[in-house]
């Protein structure tokens, strides 16, 4: 089956077309994305701007045409924190749904964490034991932990790299006072959740997904993405602390010159590094393994799990 998944994220709007069958790994067939940074289109009234809505509607229409051209049989679309938290988010999606004949689902923060955890579990397998997974998005930080495909606990915090950059940094590079205030705020927010998560038991493996963690791993010396998804990539607490301190003293242009850092994400990487540093420190994680699968793959895997099957297919 050829599936199309449209992910309307706080940073990027991404159409991923995959060839997928139940029991097999989804194989990417085509990718089309735009760094729309919807979170930056939220005004002081917390409404998505007209320009942001127009850009989103145009991309959705384009994505549907591409999906048709690529022979997609099943098309799914979902939105995360930027649309979820916008005062006019439901209105915006209702208009796009009517115009394009879609049913775009808005995921809760907990569902984001749960579906990302499913992808991580499938990637690393049962032998990994209890997993602790982190994902830093544009609007939120997701944390989940568990032994099974459904985590024991899943949490979403308003600590996305894009959100924090917009709300907390007002100069480039940020002032020392802005950095101190952000660090204090982030650590207080995460600390409130540590007890709720670690009480379920000791983790056996700590894992990170998302562009922020991949970029931090790359500038800390991990292999480039061109080496493929099966190359081991990890990130030490020492490296994250070192780069969190460095990145907050650099301007966006300097960060964009670092290996693996895209120009579109450079502005928010410093805030993302502050979150990553705090999460690893407060959860006492010495090393994170970087997982190439995340929310989109979790949505695909859950969709495949829901496909009907006949008994003769199961036992044959």
pLDDT, tens digit, for every residue of 188-201? 999 999 999 999 99
Write the DSSP assignment of 186-233 as a string of letters. HHHHHHHHHHHHHTT---SEEEEESHHHHHHHHHTTPPPGGG-TTS--
CATH of the domain at 239: 3.30.420.150
Is it the case that residue 314 has pLDDT exceeding 50? no
> Given 80, 106, 132, which residue is the final one in a domain?
106
Is it the case that residue 315 has pLDDT exceeding 70? no
Count of structural domains within the chain: 2
**Residue 78's domain spans which residues?**
2-106
Is it the case that residue 17 has pLDDT exceeding 50? yes
Percent above pLDDT 70 for the chain: 97
In this prediction, residue 42 carries a pLDDT of 84
Is it the case that residue 311 has pLDDT exceeding 60? no
CA distance 181 to 233: 31
In this prediction, residue 39 carries a pLDDT of 84
Which of 119, 74, 77, 28 has its CA nearest to residue 302? 119
> Given 74, 106, 138, which residue is the final one in a domain?
106
Which of 275, 27, 286, 310 has its CA nearest to residue 139? 275
In this prediction, residue 80 carries a pLDDT of 94
In this prediction, residue 23 carries a pLDDT of 84
In this prediction, residue 234 carries a pLDDT of 97
CATH of the domain at 75: 3.30.420.40
Token digits of residue 169? 């940094």
Confidence of residue 308 (pLDDT cuts 50, 70, 90): low
In this prediction, residue 310 carries a pLDDT of 46
- Looking only at the bridges linking them, the beta strands covering 13-19 and 27-34 are antiparallel
CA distance 22 to 3: 12
In this prediction, residue 145 carries a pLDDT of 98
Predicted structure pTM score: 0.94
Confidence of residue 40 (pLDDT cuts 50, 70, 90): confident
Is the same domain home to 138 and 172? yes
Token digits of residue 121? 């579990």
């Amino acid at each position: 089956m050829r599936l199309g998944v449209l992910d309307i994220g706080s940073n990027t709007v991404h159409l991923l077309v995959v060839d997928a069958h139940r029991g097999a790994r989804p194989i990417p067939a085509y990718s089309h994305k735009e760094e729309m940074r919807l979170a930056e289109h939220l005004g002081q009234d917390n409404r998505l701007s007209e320009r942001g809505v127009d850009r989103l509607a145009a991309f959705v229409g384009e994505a549907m045409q591409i999906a048709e051209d690529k022979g997609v049989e099943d098309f799914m679309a979902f939105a995360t924190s930027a649309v979820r938290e916008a005062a006019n988010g439901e209105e915006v999606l209702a208009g796009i749904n009517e115009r394009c004949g879609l049913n775009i689902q808005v995921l809760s923060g907990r569902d984001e964490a749960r579906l990302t955890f499913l992808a991580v579990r499938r990637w690393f397998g049962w032998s990994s034991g209890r997993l602790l997974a982190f994902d830093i998005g544009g609007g939120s930080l997701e944390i989940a932990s568990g032994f099974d495909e459904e985590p024991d606990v899943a949490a979403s915090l308003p600590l996305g790299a894009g959100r924090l950059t917009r709300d907390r940094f007002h100069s480039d590079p940020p002032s020392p006072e802005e950095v101190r205030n952000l660090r204090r705020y982030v650590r207080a927010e995460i600390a409130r959740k540590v007890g709720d998560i670690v009480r379920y038991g000791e983790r056996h493996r700590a894992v990170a997904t998302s562009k922020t963690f991949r970029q931090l791993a790359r500038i800390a010396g991990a292999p480039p993405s061109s080496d493929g998804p099966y190359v081991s990539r990890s990130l030490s607490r020492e490296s994250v602390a070192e780069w969190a301190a460095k990145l907050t003293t650099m301007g966006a242009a300097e960060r964009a010159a670092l290996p693996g850092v895209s120009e579109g994400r450079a502005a928010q990487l410093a805030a993302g590094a502050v979150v990553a540093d705090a999460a690893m420190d407060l959860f006492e994680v010495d090393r994170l393994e970087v997982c190439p699968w995340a929310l989109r793959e979790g949505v695909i895997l859950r969709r495949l799990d829901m496909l009907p099957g006949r008994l003769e297919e199961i036992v044959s």
